Structure 1
Amino acid sequence: MNDLSLFKGETAFQKLFLLFKKKYESLGRIGGSVSLKSFTDDELMAISGLTGFSVEELRGKQSITLLKFEKSLQRTRYQYDSLISFLEDYFEESLIVNKDRLILEQERELQFLTEMKARFPQIEWYIDWLSSKSADTRWIWGLYKEDPAVLSSYLDFLETTWEFLIAEKMFLRIPLFAQKVTGNPHAFDRNAILGKMLLHLLTVDQMNREEGESGFRKTSEEENDLLGFYGLIRDDLWSFVTSQNILAETDQGVHPVWKAAQESGTVMNLPLKELIKVDKVYPYERNVVWVVENSSVASTLMDLAPHAPIVCTHGQLRIAGWRLIELLVLSDVTIYYSGDLDPEGMLIADRLLRRFPESVRLWRMDERSYLEAMSEEVITEKRLSQLNKLRDHGLNKVAEVMQREKRAAYQEALVEVMVEDLRRQ
C-alpha cells in the first residue's frame, strides 16, 4: 500500500476523491465526470499539479472525468493501474456500488427480521407488519439504522408487554405497568420511544382485528381509549358514561351507591375509575338497556321515561362506554343502541354491532327512521365515502338511501317515538 498521507492532508483531494467515490458507487464503474465548480483556485492548483491539466483548463471545463484522472494517476509515482484500487486504499475500505450495497442492506434486514421473529414469537405478527415497511413504520426503521441492537431491546420489552396483556385481564395504570415490565415507570410515557412503539403495536393489533377505523394519528383521548382497550389506564376520570336505573355488584354484593341512585331516581355519571371497581352490571328490572349516543336526547328520555334503564355514551364510544357495555353483555343483557344517522354515528353503531353481534340491536336506525328524521344538512362526499366501511346489512340499507339523499338525520327528531318505545316496555 502506498503512502497517501499527502492526499489526505489536502482539502482539494479530500473533496475530489469523495466525489469520485460517490460517482463510482452510483454508476457501478469508473466513468462519468464530477463537477469542479465548488473548488477554489488554490484547490484547482493542487489538482493541476497531479493531473497535468492547467488551472485555466480545469476552470474552463468545470469538471474532470474519472477516466482521465485514472490515466493521470498511472503517470505518478504511486503507479496505480486502477482508480478503484486507489480509492479503496485512500478510504481504507472496499468500495461497494449502491446497487450491491442495497442488496447487502436488504439481506441484513431480512436476517434481522428472521432473528427477531425467532426470539419474540408472541409478537411475530407485529414484526411481520414492520417488514412491510409501510409509511407508519419509517421511524421504527430509522431506529434500526441507528442501532439494530437498540431496536431489538425495544422489541424484547414489547414481547414481555404483549405476553402480560393477553394473559392478565385487569386494569393497571401505565406507570405501574411500565415499572412492572421494564423497571422504569416512565418507559411508556407518551413521548418516550417505547411508549410510541407500544401505541404503534396496539394500533396494528386493532387494524389486524379490524376493530373500528383505527389510524396511526390519534388525539390524546383516542390514545387513552386505545390503551384502555387493553387494560392500560392513562386517565380514568375523564372517560365516563351516564346512566339511570342500572345496578352493579362487587364481591361484597350490590353496590350501595348504584342501588341508592336507582331507588332515588338519580342519574349517575360513571367514570372509568368506578367502572373498573365493579364485577357485574345489569338493569334494575327486565333484561334490556337502552343506549343513546346524544346527551341531550338521553336527558330528555330520562325525564320522560324515568323508570327506563338508559345509558348515554356522549358521542364516540370511549373506554368507559366499552367497559359498561361489556359488563352488560356479560350479564346477558340485550342492548338497544340508537345514534345519529350520519356517517359518523352509523360507524359507531357498526363497530358496536361487530363487537357484540349477539347482544346489540339497532334502535330507530332503519331506513324509515332516517327519512322521518332527515334534516337539511348536506353531507359532503368525503363524509359519505365513510359509509363504504359499514358491514352491517341494515346500516348498509340506510347508507344506500343516504347516498341518494345526501342528508343527515339526527336523534332529536325521533325523541317522541323513542319515548313511546320506552313506555311500551
Structure 2
Amino acid sequence: MVSPSGRNTECLDFLRQPGLQRMWQLVRKKYESYGRVAGTIRLSGLREEERQALEGLFATNMLGRSDFRFRLAELERALQETRFQVSIKDCLCLLYGDEWMTRQEQREIEQRTWERFCRWALQFGGKEELKIWIEQLSAGLGGGYRVFLECYRDYCEKGDSPDWAIALGALQQLPARNERLPVFAARTTGDPHGLDRSTLAGRIFYWGMLALQSQYRLRSEPDVQESGRTSVQEDGFKETRSTVEADPTSDNTLESISQSEVIRAQYALSGIVLDDISSIVWVAGWGEYAKDPVALPLLAVERLDQAALPSVSEVFVVENPSIFGALLDRGLQTGSPLPFPLLCTSGQPSLAALRLLDKITDGQSRIYYSGDFDVKGLVMAIGLSQRYGSRFIPWRLDAETYRSAVRSHFPPFSEAEIQVLERMQVPWDDRLLEVMRESGKKVFQEQILDLLLKVWEERMG
C-alpha cells in the first residue's frame, strides 16, 4: 500500500476524481462480495467526465462510447501501472477507511464477537440447568433465542448486557414458597417492575425459568417460531432451523386468553404468583350476588369452591358495561332477583371472567354472549366459541340483527379491518361476515339495546 505521506493525498485526489466515483462504488460491492480481485464491472450511460477518467486510467480510447466493461483483474493491472503503483484493496482502504473490509472479514469479526458474548453470558449461569440452556442458546438453539439476540446487540453496543445479568441473578434466587412477582422483583432487582414480561430482563427471566423447569421443548421442524441465527447475508451467521414452543409472552388477541392461563401456571411452578387482583369480572344474579353487582378479582374467583357453588343452566355475558347496566336496571325493575347470572367482560374477556365462567357452568350450561359487530367483538366471540364449544350461543350476534340495525352514518370499517374480516370464519352464521363486508359499517351493542332487552325480558318471564 502507498506510504502514509503526501503521496496518499495525491493518490486520493486521483481516485476521487468525479469521473471515477461510480466505478469505485461498483468495485467496492464486487470486491466485498468475492473477497478478492474477481468478477466484471459494467458501466453504462457514461458521461463525458467518466469517459475521460476511464481513458486515462485504462489507457484506452473511449471516444463516443456510452458503456464500458472491464474485469477487476484489468483494473488491478491498470492501477499498478500508475505512478502510485497501488492495488484495488489499497484504493478501497484509502477511499473508505480502515473500517472497510470484505464480507469474509466481517463474518470473522462477528463470529469472534459472538463467541466473546457467549462466554460472557455463561459466567452468569450458576445452576447447571441454566448453563445447559445458555450453551444451547450459544449454538443458536433453545427457548428464548430471540431475547438472547437482543442481549447480544446490547453487548455489541455497550460491552455488556445489564438485563441479562439482572435476570440471571434473579433466577438464582427463586423463592421456596409463593411470592408475588413485583415483591420478588423488588427483592432481587431493586425494581418491582424489573421482571415484568414487557421488559427485556423479564423475558430473559421467563425463558430461564422454563429452562430450570425443563419444560421448554426443542424440536426440528420447518415451521419456525423461535428460530436460530439469521442468514449469513444479514449478519454473517448461518441460518439454523430450530423450533421451540411459541413465545407465550406475546399478546395476540385470540391466543392470549388461553396463554395467560399457561403462563400463570408456569410461574406458579417456580413459586412466583402473577397479578390476580387487576383481572376482574362484573357479575350479578348469581348466588350471594343475586341482586347487587360486584366486581370479582381473579384472586376471589380462584378461591371459590366449585363444588359448593349453585348450579346454573344458563349465563348471559355482554361485552360493554353500559349494556350490563341497562340489562341490570331492567331486571331490577321487577323487584325480584335475576333468575340467572349476568356477566360483563368490559372488552376482551379477562382471565377472571373466563375462570368464573368455567366454575359456574357445567357441560350442560348455556352461555349466551352478545358483543359489538366489529373486528374486536367478533374475535372475542370466536374465542369464546372455541373455548366453550356447543355451550356457546350467540345472542343477537347474527346477520339478521346486523342488517336490521346498520345505518349509513355508522362508523366505517378501515381497509385493514375489511381485510381481517375477509380472513375470518364465524362458525355460527355463514352470512354474517359477507353482510358486514358489503355494508362496510360497524354496529355496536348500544345500537341494538332494544333487541337485547326484548330477549332479556322474555328470558326473565
Output the TM-score relative to the length of structure 1: 0.57
Q: For the structure 1 residues 298 and 118, does the alpha-carbon distance in structure 2 shift closer, same or farther, using more than 3 Å as the test?
A: same
Q: How does 1:316-335 map to 2 (within 5 A)?
A: 316-328=348-360, 333-335=365-367
Q: For the structure 1 residues 364 and 180, does the alpha-carbon distance in structure 2 shift closer, same or farther, using more than 3 Å as the test?
A: farther
Choose from 412, 431, 435 the match for 1:379: 412
Q: Which runs of 5+ in 2 are unaligned?
A: 17-23, 42-74, 119-131, 208-225, 227-244, 268-272, 332-337
Structure 1 residue 244, shift from structure 2 partner: 1.2
Q: Which residue of 2 aligns with 1:124?
A: 142
Q: How does 1:253-264 map to 2 (within 5 A)?
A: 259=288, 261-262=289-290
Matched, 1:296 2:322: yes
Choose from 265, 278, 285 the match for 1:245: 285
Structure 1 residue 413, shift from structure 2 partner: 3.5
Q: Which residue of 2 aligns with 1:340?
A: 372
Corresponding residue SS for 1:290: strand
Matched, 1:212 2:254: yes
Matched, 1:193 2:229: no
Q: Deviations over 1:34-54 (max 9, x none)?
A: xxxxxxxxxxxxxxxxxxxxx
Q: How does 1:168-179 map to 2 (within 5 A)?
A: 173-178=180-185
Determine if contact 1:178/1:187 at 8 Å carries over to the other structure: yes
Take 2:251 and 2:169, find their aligned partners in 1: how far apart are those partners?
19
State the AA in 2 paired with 1:205.
D
State the AA in 2 paired with 1:142.
R
State the AA in 1 paired with 2:451.
L
Q: For the structure 1 residues 87 and 389, does the alpha-carbon distance in structure 2 shift closer, same or farther, using more than 3 Å as the test?
A: closer
Corresponding residue SS for 1:357: helix
Q: How does 1:1-400 map to 2 (within 5 A)?
A: 26-28=29-31, 72=83, 84=89, 96-98=101-103, 100-101=104-105, 104=108, 118=136, 124=142, 126-127=144-145, 142-143=153-154, 145-146=156-157, 150=161, 153=164, 157=168, 173-178=180-185, 186-189=193-196, 192-195=199-202, 205-206=247-248, 212=254, 230-231=263-264, 236-247=276-287, 259=288, 261-262=289-290, 265-280=291-306, 284-305=310-331, 306-328=338-360, 333-357=365-389, 359-376=391-408, 377-382=410-415, 383-400=417-434
Number of matched residues? 343
Q: For the structure 1 residues 336 and 103, does the alpha-carbon distance in structure 2 shift closer, same or farther, using more than 3 Å as the test?
A: same
Q: For the structure 1 residues 333 and 110, does the alpha-carbon distance in structure 2 shift closer, same or farther, using more than 3 Å as the test?
A: farther
State the AA in 2 paired with 1:357.
G
Determine if contact 1:292/1:339 at 8 Å carries over to the other structure: yes
Determine if contact 2:281/2:344 at 8 Å carries over to the other structure: yes
Determine if contact 1:379/1:407 at 8 Å carries over to the other structure: yes
Q: For the structure 1 residues 25 and 276, does the alpha-carbon distance in structure 2 shift closer, same or farther, using more than 3 Å as the test?
A: farther
Take 1:408 and 1:109, find their aligned partners in 2: how far apart are those partners?
53
Take 1:236 and 1:209, find their aligned partners in 2: how far apart are those partners?
18
Q: For the structure 1 residues 320 and 285, does the alpha-carbon distance in structure 2 shift closer, same or farther, using more than 3 Å as the test?
A: closer
Determine if contact 2:313/2:364 at 8 Å carries over to the other structure: yes
Structure 1 residue 349, shift from structure 2 partner: 0.6
Take 1:309 and 1:284, find their aligned partners in 2: how far apart are those partners?
11
Q: For the structure 1 residues 192 and 405, does the alpha-carbon distance in structure 2 shift closer, same or farther, using more than 3 Å as the test?
A: closer
Determine if contact 1:373/1:413 at 8 Å carries over to the other structure: no
Take 2:354 and 2:196, find their aligned partners in 1: how far apart are those partners?
24
Structure 1 residue 307, shift from structure 2 partner: 2.4
Determine if contact 1:236/1:273 at 8 Å carries over to the other structure: yes
CA root-mean-square deviation:
5.8
Determine if contact 1:290/1:310 at 8 Å carries over to the other structure: yes
Corresponding residue SS for 1:124: coil
Corresponding residue SS for 2:460: helix
Matched, 1:418 2:418: no
Take 1:334 and 1:304, find their aligned partners in 2: how far apart are those partners?
22
Structure 1 residue 293, shift from structure 2 partner: 1.1
Take 1:194 and 1:227, find their aligned partners in 2: how far apart are those partners?
19
State the AA in 1 paired with 2:254.
G
State the AA in 2 paired with 1:415.
L
Structure 1 residue 292, shift from structure 2 partner: 1.1
Take 1:159 and 1:288, find their aligned partners in 2: how far apart are those partners?
46
State the AA in 2 paired with 1:272.
L
Corresponding residue SS for 1:230: helix
Take 1:348 and 1:158, find their aligned partners in 2: how far apart are those partners?
39
Corresponding residue SS for 2:442: strand
Q: Which residue of 2 aligns with 1:37?
A: none
Q: Deviations over 1:269-319 (max 9, x none)?
A: 223343344353887343322111122222232233422211111222233
**If each structure's helix is expressed as a fraction of its own residues, which one has the higher value?**
1
Q: Percent identical across equivalent pairs?
A: 21
Take 1:270 and 1:379, find their aligned partners in 2: how far apart are those partners?
35
